[in-house]
Amino acid sequence: MTIELILGGARSGKSRHAERRAQESGAAVTVIATAEALDEEMAARIRRHQADRPAAWRTVEAPRALAATLQREAAAGRCLIVDCLTLWLTNLLEGAEQLPPGADAGALPALRAEREALLATLPQLPGQIILVANEVGLGLVPETPLGRLFRDEAGRLNQQVAQLADTVTFVAAGLPLVLKQG
């Protein structure tokens, strides 16, 4: 079992790097997609990602129940790509706009339960797991409380997954920089 976390900004090449790593594995590949096509632009992005992948790769949608999906799909000789943790987190932040200023996402039971399940599940999985996530902490401080909550929770999640990962890679301008090699 190996866990790899690939971080980067928007359009950094992180998904393409994850796909390259999966192809190099020689294993059967399943992409676990967390995006939801809530508008036509997102639907077009999803179609473009699907068209870029090899036809033999399976795609499984898991906008929220990621740990359960990983448990069901992981197997020896299989490589799973989770693309991406940041969209998954966004899906779980539903209702966060009602939180009082300064609250953390621990006040959202679904988010707390799913994050705990993911972090408990990852070290137990067979096969190769490649997780893609956005690094959102390099920019300006968001103006809104919800934006700051999202940035903070994404940073915490990335740190927690990085601790579990064997390899952590940061991608900028399509160039991978290995931050952790286990």
Per-residue pLDDT of the chain (182 residues; tens, 9 = 90+): 899 999 999 999 999 999 999 999 999 999 999 988 878 888 888 888 888 889 999 999 999 999 999 999 999 999 999 999 999 999 999 877 777 777 776 778 889 999 999 999 999 999 999 999 999 989 889 998 888 889 999 999 999 999 999 999 999 999 999 999 98
Q: Which of 81, 83, 108, 70 is nearest to 27 (CA)?
A: 81
Q: Supply the pTM of this predicted model.
A: 0.93
Domain-wise residue ranges, the chain: 2-181
Per-residue pLDDT, 105 = 67
Residue 158 burial (C-beta neighbours within 10 Å; 0-12, 13-18, 19+) = buried
Residues placed in the known binding site for GTP: 8-15, 33-35, 61, 83
Per-residue pLDDT, 142 = 92
Residues placed in the known binding site: 8-15, 33-35, 61, 83
Active site residues: 49
Torsions phi, psi for 176 (to 5 deg): -85, 140
Q: Which of 53, 14, 63, 20 is nearest to 168 (CA)?
A: 14
Q: At a CB cut-off of 8 Å and minimum separation 6, what does 135 contact?
A: 7, 8, 9, 158, 170
Q: Please state, in angstroms and rounded to a whole number, the distance separating the CA atoms of residues 155 and 161.
A: 10
Q: Which contiguous run of DSSP H or E holds residue 22? A: helix 14-25
CATH superfamily to which 2-181 belongs: P-loop containing nucleotide triphosphate hydrolases (3.40.50.300)
